[in-house]
Structure 1
């Protein structure tokens, strides 16, 4: 074992000089100038630090590139998720879906049926009619509710003197009466054969078989009153 520190340093310098000068045969005697050990060690340390620094910078650069790529992908994904669908091309909704949605809405927010008397178009109250003779009573009424009336709605005899063989009369085919709109409805009647005062009261009936009329409670009927002579 080599104990002399100077000898060990000389051997280290000799080997380092041989490597730096490109020697190929260590066994051949070579005369070299003893290198400056401090400068040599400084160069070795500086080179090692340089290599480590270069590797660290390279790895940091690669990680930074990966971070940028990931950030860009996340940003693109976020933008994709946030995009609002273009509805410009949708021109219609399937009738089945519309019917289903309408049914759901009507269940949650049912409309209200109500009528309001506007005027007697024919046969004002206490009009004189001949016994046994036919006449036509026509009312003008307003849709005072929130439902739309159709030909599925009916005028229904409520009480009094019927003066007709029909207790229910459908609104004319194709009828559409929106809320606040008016309609004229008629009943063909025949005056009784006996003289006297007669009155016939009528309500409306919705497609779900509910009777309704005018007033706060939507139960006031419209009527016709005649004097038979």
Structure 2
């Protein structure tokens, strides 16, 4: 929903990533956590609101673009309290521009 794959962010930018997920199973999503299973940016984990079977839920978290320019992708999976992971994954995929450097000319006078 927000931050489509390949979005370019400035280094260090804070943004909210929102996914729209559907509970296609037969049990409630209750007590689940979204856990980062691959990638190196974004939170390690965040809570998932309870969601009934067949319902759609918007799931959001705050991410901070890495300080170094490049392409970044972090992948998440839902995890139950017993450690069991859901089969499907979702991700945030961004490109990061190099930080803007404000350089001013320095002139020396004797």
TM-score, normalization: structure 2?
0.82
The alpha carbon displacement at 1:211 in A equals: 0.8
- After the TM superposition, which residues 16-35 of structure 1 pair with which residues of structure 2 at under 5 Å, given as runs? none
- Equivalenced residue count is 97
Q: 1:148 and 2:16 equivalent? A: no
Give 1:42's aligned residue: none
Question: 2 CA distance for matches of 1:145 and 1:207?
Answer: 17
> Which residue of the partner structure matches residue 200 of structure 1?
74
Moved over 3 A (4+): none
Q: Any idea what the Cα deviations from partners look like across 1:113-135, whole Å, max 9, x if unmatched?
A: xxxxxxxx100000011101111
| Alpha-carbon distance in structure 1 between the residues aligned to 2:73 and 2:29 | 26
Q: 1:149 aligns to what SS in structure 2?
A: coil
Question: For residues 77-114 of structure 1, what are the alpha-carbon distances to aligned partners after superposition, in whole Å with 9 as ceiling and x for unaligned?
Answer: xxxxxxxxxxxxxxxxxxxxxxxxxxxxxxxxxxxxxx
The equivalent of 2:94 in structure 1 is 226
Bigger relative contact order, structure 1 or 2, given CA contacts below 8 A and separation 6+? 2
> CA–CA distance in 2 between the matches of 1:182 and 1:207?
21
Instruction: Compare the two structures and name the one with the higher helix fraction.
Output: 1
Distance in 1 (CA, whole Å) between partners of 2:33 and 2:96 is 27
| Equivalent runs, 1:25-174 vs 2, <5 Å | 121-150=1-30, 152-161=31-40, 163-164=41-42, 166-172=43-49
Q: Report the aligned-residue RMSD.
A: 1.2
**C-alpha displacement of 1:207:** 2.5
5+ residue gaps, structure 2, are 98-110
Choose 1 or 2 for highest CA Rg.
Answer: 1
- Tell me, yes or no, if structure 1 residue 178 matches structure 2 residue 57: no
- Measured after TM superposition, the shift of residue 208 of structure 1 is 2.0
- Report the Cα distance in structure 1 between the residues aligned to 2:81 and 2:27, rounded to whole angstroms: 11
| Unmatched tracts of structure 1, length 5 or more | 1-120, 213-217
